[in-house]
Amino acid sequence: MPDAGLRGAFEAANRGSLDAATLAAYSSQPLAGWLQYAALRKELATLPTDRGGSFLARHRGQPVAEAFRNDWLAALAKRQEWAAFLSAWNDRVEQPALRCAQLEARRALGRYDERWTHDAQALWRSSGKSLPDACDPSFTQLATQGGLSPSLRWERIELAAAEGQPAVIRAIARGFSGDDAAQANAYAAFIDAPVAEVDGWPKTARSRLVASHGLAKLAKTSPDRAEALLPGIASVLGFNDTERGRVLHPIALWTVASYLPESARRLAAVPLPAYDASLHEWQAREAMARSDWGATLAAIRRMPDAQRTDSRWLYFAARTSELTGDAAGARTLYRQAASKADFHGFLAADKLEQAYALCPWQPAVAPAAKQAIARDPAIVRALQLFALDRKGWAQREWDEALSRFGDEQRRIAVEVAQDNGWFDRGVFGLVNLGGKRYPEETRLYQLRFPLHHEATIRREATRNDLDPAWIAAEIRAESVFDPNARSPADARGLMQVLPGTGAEVAAKIGVPWTGGQSLYDADTNIALGSAYLRQLMDKYGGKPYQVMAGYNAGPAPLGRWISQRPAMDADFWIETISYKETREYVARVLSFSTVYDWRLNGDAQRLTERMLGRTQGTRKGFACPMAEAAKAAAPPPARPTLKDRRRR
């Protein structure tokens, strides 16, 4: 791992005060390129082009070169050194501002060819959102040479309408004159603030598209107003079912997400082809919130097969079947859900009084194979950068290494990373990577559910009368055991405690507090986070599932949810939480708690009891459904013959 001197060198580079002697002293170290990059970033405004080109050439093919390239291209564009810009260009660069600058470089050097026109037009139609100012000169040139036809302008206006971008539409309209300009500005005004008066619009597919997107945008802030405008506008312009569905969908969604009185009626008004997974789920939740179990079950049955057979909806189909009198059907559905190692699968297993499904897989790793991965130059650099808290740079090196690795090497790399304290690789380096899914890797529980600071977790759990598996699960959900984690809201450390909360809790329990930096100390963070959980438990009547919701969403939403459904069973209460993030967070932490109970103790408290705060109930074991099925399918052993018995 990096020594203190290297850390100091990076800090000096960030300040722009790294001297040449110190830089030279680290020239043979793995992070020499990154250290030089850190130093060069302070010189970009005046860096000679030959030095920039030399750095790119020396580190060609390495992540540090691509990181430098983006900064260098931006600096060269600002300096308008277009020849050097094109020399440094790489077609894999994706940032719109740099792509625009590349067009400008070619324009400035007089390279107006057919390819330039094609590339400029492709960039024009790439987005309905506002593009960087750096694009303006090239688009002006494109228009001057006749490359921005009215059809191209209208094409992007339609994209902008779909994105709800009236300012973009107005900017494009400046390239029109007469009726086209007037109509484009009328469209922009409608996207800004829909009105009923559309009689003068042309009765075209474009008008219907703009009007339906404008009403859909309005529905997100004022579903009542959107619903009132829809019939008249739909009649005047001749909306088809797709266009009506485009508006009715957000009207229903934004109504039901707040459980408003019109929810059921508006859901029923949405044409079935306009239903997506989200709306199907909300139709089920809305019925749950009213404790209408028949309507809940009917909504689940209307879901597409792939959605309906997810463990969540198998469980709730079973639950509502049971509540509507179909005990046999409920057991069949519970059995299907219980084969899944997740929150709803564990709940289903409790209903059946059977072991939790878990099929751990920890393939043996040859020491030589692990050593080879640990010595890979990109992995070495990634681990050192992570230790220096340069996570973005570490990710670049990690991605480069994994692009070369096979599946076994990738899994070994995750193990190596965790050996070095980089625990989130078990979450972000497995199961789903680069669009490719590896479902068998969900069984790598020791990698996916790391366990660190166990002694501190157990100590603070005992001190606060909490389940240690819950504390471990909170850490896994909040930071994946990264003590330096920091959220956009300034929550810090393992349990993502806010500095204000940390200071209050520290004062109450007598933990030394030296400011927000204290939260980056693992022991301090776990002590304060656990004590805060205890305070929430005492405040909310000892119900962990509600405490988890409050820990994630805050006290105001939690108070609202408790008052709305005070007597609802825990499983239904969790599913009807209106915030998607919090709803999934609570289910995730409860599921993680069960897995961490297994990691800590080999068995687990019943999840049904755990979420209610009952800690003294019967514990349960785990079993692998695949292994049990294979055992049941195996033929019985042959009965020994008389000759066999004599041989014995």
Per-residue pLDDT tens over the stretch 162-175: 999 999 999 999 99
**DSSP code, position 442:** G
Query: For 435-462, how does the pLDDT look when each residue is reduced to its tens digit (9 = 90+)?
Result: 788 889 999 999 999 999 999 999 999 9
In this prediction, residues 234-255 reach a mean pLDDT of 97
Token pair 């000759």 in the structure block, residue: 643
Q: How far apart are CA 283 and CA 313, in angstroms?
A: 12
Cβ-based neighbours of 286, under 8 Å, separated by 6 or more: 256, 259, 263, 264, 267
- Amino acid, single-letter form, for residue 367: P
Cβ neighbours around 333 below 10 Å, total: 24
pLDDT band at 645 (very low <50, low <70, confident <90, very high): very low
Residues paired with 497 in a beta bridge: 492
Q: What is the CATH number of domain 154-310?
A: 1.25.20.10
Q: How far apart are CA 13 and CA 33, in angstroms?
A: 12
Pick from 402, 396, 395: which is nearest to 376 by CA? 402
pTM: 0.91
**Is the predicted pLDDT of residue 637 greater than 80, yes or no?**
no
For the record, the structure tokens of 45 come out as 């405004």
pLDDT band at 635 (very low <50, low <70, confident <90, very high): low
- For residue 197, the model assigns a pLDDT of 94
**Is the predicted pLDDT of residue 124 greater than 60, yes or no?**
yes
In this prediction, residues 125-147 reach a mean pLDDT of 93
CA 545 to chain centre: 22
Token pair 């020239």 in the structure block, residue: 27
- For residue 647, the model assigns a pLDDT of 47
Crossing angle of helices 223-237 and 205-219, in 10° steps, is: 170
Query: For 509-536, how does the pLDDT look when each residue is reduced to its tens digit (9 = 90+)?
Result: 999 999 999 999 999 999 999 999 999 9
pLDDT band at 638 (very low <50, low <70, confident <90, very high): low
**Is the predicted pLDDT of residue 629 greater than 70, yes or no?**
no
In this prediction, residues 293-322 reach a mean pLDDT of 97
Pick from 402, 420, 415: which is nearest to 365 by CA? 415
- For residue 422, the model assigns a pLDDT of 97
Q: How far apart are CA 225 and CA 202, in angstroms?
A: 23
Percent of the chain's residues with pLDDT above 70: 96
Q: How far apart are CA 5 and CA 475, in angstroms?
A: 31
Cβ-based neighbours of 508, under 8 Å, separated by 6 or more: 531, 535
**Is the predicted pLDDT of residue 631 greater than 70, yes or no?**
no
Q: How far apart are the first and last CA of the chain?
A: 61
Pick from 257, 221, 220, 251: which is nearest to 234 by CA? 251
Pick from 543, 555, 507: which is nearest to 527 by CA? 507
**Is the predicted pLDDT of residue 632 greater than 80, yes or no?**
no
- For residue 625, the model assigns a pLDDT of 87
**Is the predicted pLDDT of residue 12 greater than 80, yes or no?**
yes
Query: For 379-417, how does the pLDDT look when each residue is reduced to its tens digit (9 = 90+)?
Result: 999 999 999 999 999 999 999 999 999 999 999 999 999
Q: How far apart are CA 254 and CA 216, in angstroms?
A: 10
**Is the predicted pLDDT of residue 2 greater than 90, yes or no?**
no
- For residue 616, the model assigns a pLDDT of 81
**Is the predicted pLDDT of residue 350 greater than 60, yes or no?**
yes
Residue 177 buriedness (CB in 10 A; 0-12 / 13-18 / 19+)? exposed
Report which of residues 317 and 438 the model is more confident about. Answer: 317
Q: What is the CATH number of domain 454-617?
A: 1.10.530.10
Percent of the chain's residues with pLDDT above 90: 92
- For residue 641, the model assigns a pLDDT of 55
- For residue 414, the model assigns a pLDDT of 96
In this prediction, residues 254-275 reach a mean pLDDT of 95
- For residue 648, the model assigns a pLDDT of 45
Give the CA-trace dihedral at 376, 378, 383, 386, to 10 degrees: -170
**DSSP code, position 275:** -
pLDDT band at 578 (very low <50, low <70, confident <90, very high): very high
Residues paired with 619 in a beta bridge: 605
Rounded to the nearest integer, the mean pLDDT of the chain is 94
Domain residue limits, the chain: 1-40, 44-148, 154-310, 367-443, 454-617
- For residue 542, the model assigns a pLDDT of 87
Run of H or E including 213: helix 205-219
